[in-house]
Amino acid sequence: MAKYLGGIRNPDIEIYNIKSPGWFDFDFYIKYADYGADGNMQELSIYDTILRYEELTSDSHRDYSLALGAAGYILTGPVGGILGAVLGSEKKEKHVVLCELNNGWQLVIELDKDEFKTWDSFMAKAVKGNTVAAST
């Protein structure tokens, strides 16, 4: 799930979360409350408002399975424990992205591997469309 890391310095704005794309949607939404206005929960489409984005960091590491390692150790000994931990491991990947919106907001978002693939493919098109619309 996408995670808001910070960036909006307006004390009247409280960001609750970043909503990732679903089955039939390709957009990311910012769920926030504006206490300077009515204070109600609102959603802002990132796709419709993004002007630019930049990947700040990318991290990839492997998480080993303690449960499968313990099961392998119990069933077959030390070699089974090592094999269970390694074979049960999964690769984790996270990307930190800085984006600027046409309302002046700059925010930093953390995305996992699949979210970043979706982000990169759709937001590149959105930036082109929104910067052309902003300059006319």
CA atoms of 10 and 23, how far apart (whole Å): 33
When divided into structural domains, the chain yields a total of 1
pLDDT digits (tens, 9 = 90+) for 10-32: 888 888 888 888 777 778 899 99
Greater confidence (34 vs 92) lies with 34
User: Per the confidence metrics, is the pTM higher than 0.85?
Assistant: no
Greater confidence (94 vs 69) lies with 94
CA atoms of 72 and 93, how far apart (whole Å): 26
Domain of 37 in residue numbering reads as: 3-135
Phi, psi of 102 (to 5 degrees): -75, -5
